[in-house]
Amino acid sequence: MAPPYLGAMAILPPTSSPRAALRDLLAAFRHDDHRDRILGLTLAVLVTIIILIVFFVDSKINTAPPPRIIYVQAYAPGRTDAEIVASQKIDQAKREADAKEHQRQMQELQKRLGIE
């Protein structure tokens, strides 16, 4: 059996409307003469507004990845082994040429920046 004081307690606090919260905030601003409390109220409101703005702005950024296009090369079904080997040699030569060009560019950059 639950203790008698728990029967009258609410599990969750009562909800209030935004209109009531705004009235409470305005009343606190109107009736408070201490500058430090007014400064604290102002900072609390500003921080809350900034956090809400950041959440709304961030929800629109990078929400979906960009479309990715993949190109597939179609080969003739009746290719011979010699044609396949020749095609692979051409592709390998292109890769090696690209690698040498990249290495040349990096060496040029190294010379311009003075990196040894």
Q: Domain ranges for the chain, please list them.
A: 17-58, 71-116
pLDDT tops 60 at residue 1: no
Q: What is the pTM of this model?
A: 0.37
Per-residue confidence band for 53, with pLDDT thresholds at 50, 70 and 90: very high
Backbone angles phi, psi at 55, to 5 degrees: -65, -40
Beta strand spans in the chain (E): none
SS3 assignment, position 61: coil
Going by C-alpha positions, the residue among 14, 48, 41, 11 that lies closest to residue 25 is 41
Per-residue confidence band for 12, with pLDDT thresholds at 50, 70 and 90: low
Burial label for 41, CB within 10 Å (0-12, 13-18, 19+), is middle
What average pLDDT does range 57-79 have in this prediction?
83
